[in-house]
Chains A and B, each alone.
Chain A
Amino acid sequence: MPSLKDIKTQINSVGSTKKITSAMKMVAASKLRRSQEKAEAARPYSSRLEEMLSSLASSAASGEGIIKLLTGTGNDQNYIVVPVSADRGLCGGFNSSINRETFKLVKSLEGNGKKVQLMPVGKKSRDFFNRVMKDQIIESFVDLNVSSTGYESALNISNKLQELYFEDKFDKCILVFNKFKSAISQEVTQQQLIPLDVSNSEKEEEKENSSNAIYDYEPDEETILKDLLPKNVSIQIFKVLLESDAGEQGARMAAMDNATRNAGEMIDSLTLKYNRTRQAFITKELIEIISGAESI
């Protein structure tokens, strides 16, 4: 049976853990607000770009060079998978669900006879895949610090991807990331980045066609498309990074909230134990005194 002093120390240590987790929760909550604002601020640009792209996409039937970002290489053999995780832990299942999903995706692609390479973003997925499939990693990006540098890190990733793509290193690129659904829930999502999946913007295209007249293009459609496609890759990555950042803060907030609650429960039950032990001691001492007095 633990002594009173042992229980007391235990209560104190759980108490200080609780303080830390609740502080982390507050920090995550304020960071979440900031990353949500950032995601909000980035929305006008990306939605405009998507609209432009969808109105142009139909004009490119097939082609060489940059247009390949839209039309694909015509092959379906080499894949590159980009898992987007956080740099830090203590955010519940946020990182492990990304890693698990990516691992499953890679295995299923390999099962179909495809060649898969990895380009993890974020420390947690890099470390994981360094352990399990080290030789498939071609590049990794860590310490992105999305909330401050933002677009530049997205640009780095997108430049690297395009460089590899035009060297014919891969045919398809798939992003795996946590989609921010609400402050407490994230959804692991797969998105095909290259070649561009136009089907999800098709609805917008219809809308636009019905409401808008035809544009003049300057210099011409193809030139604009050539400028637009690489930008679109970067902006898609940027969007994903922002979503994942907001999701991370949300996940951390929820995880820390849980931890704080658990610590509270633990303190309650420890306090109960402490009081019981204390009472037991008093009773024991009383019995000793009484039986000592009786024997005299």
Chain B
Amino acid sequence: MATISFDLVSPENLIFNDDVGTIIVPGKDGDLGVLPGHSQVMSSLRPGRVMVYSEDKNLVKSFFVSGGFAEINPEKCIVLAESVVELNSLDKSSIEKEIEELGSKESKESEEQLSIAKAKLEAITVSFYDKI
């Protein structure tokens, strides 16, 4: 089976760069599963999980992105994300606290942060995509 090269880039550095089997990215209108030979797509992303699988469909890495863009062509997939964290480094109780704090504030900015934090919480609680 073929591989596709995958770059995960944040403004500060290049986080992931390797040849992988499959990637799932959280597109704005729904998740995109990217396999080698995918058609050319440019998509903006919603806050959610980026899942990286090896050729034999084992989960290699999983990240949480707070939004960004993906550029996909048959050989390469590039995700530009503003903030990237590895999923297993997230802590449930601290996110819940953050949501509580943000919920009490009322500004446009905190609303945005709140929706990101909620997506974060969802990302660590759900388990679909763990196996494909």
Contact = CB atoms under 8 A, between A and B. Distances in A.
Interface in B28-85: 28-29, 32, 39-44, 67, 69, 71, 73, 78, 80, 82
Interface string B95-118: 000000000000000000000000
Q: Please report whether the interface of chain B is mostly helix, strand, loop or mixed according to DSSP.
A: strand
Given A218-B27, A218-B28, A223-B28, A52 B42 contact: yes
A48 B9 CA distance: 9
B97 to A, nearest CB: 20
A217 B41 CA distance: 6
Q: Please report whether the interface of chain A is mostly helix, strand, loop or mixed according to DSSP.
A: helix
Interface string A212-247: 111111110001100110010011001000000000
Size bracket, chain B contacts: 20 to 34
A277 to B, nearest CB: 59
Nearest to B67: A227
A30 B122 CA distance: 42
A180 B109 CA distance: 34
A48 B12 contact: no
Given A46-B11, A49-B69, A214-B40, 17 more contacts: A44-B14, A45-B10, A45-B80, A48-B80, A52-B69, A56-B42, A154-B11, A212-B40, A212-B73, A213-B40, A215-B71, A217-B42, A218-B28, A218-B32, A219-B29, A223-B44, A224-B44
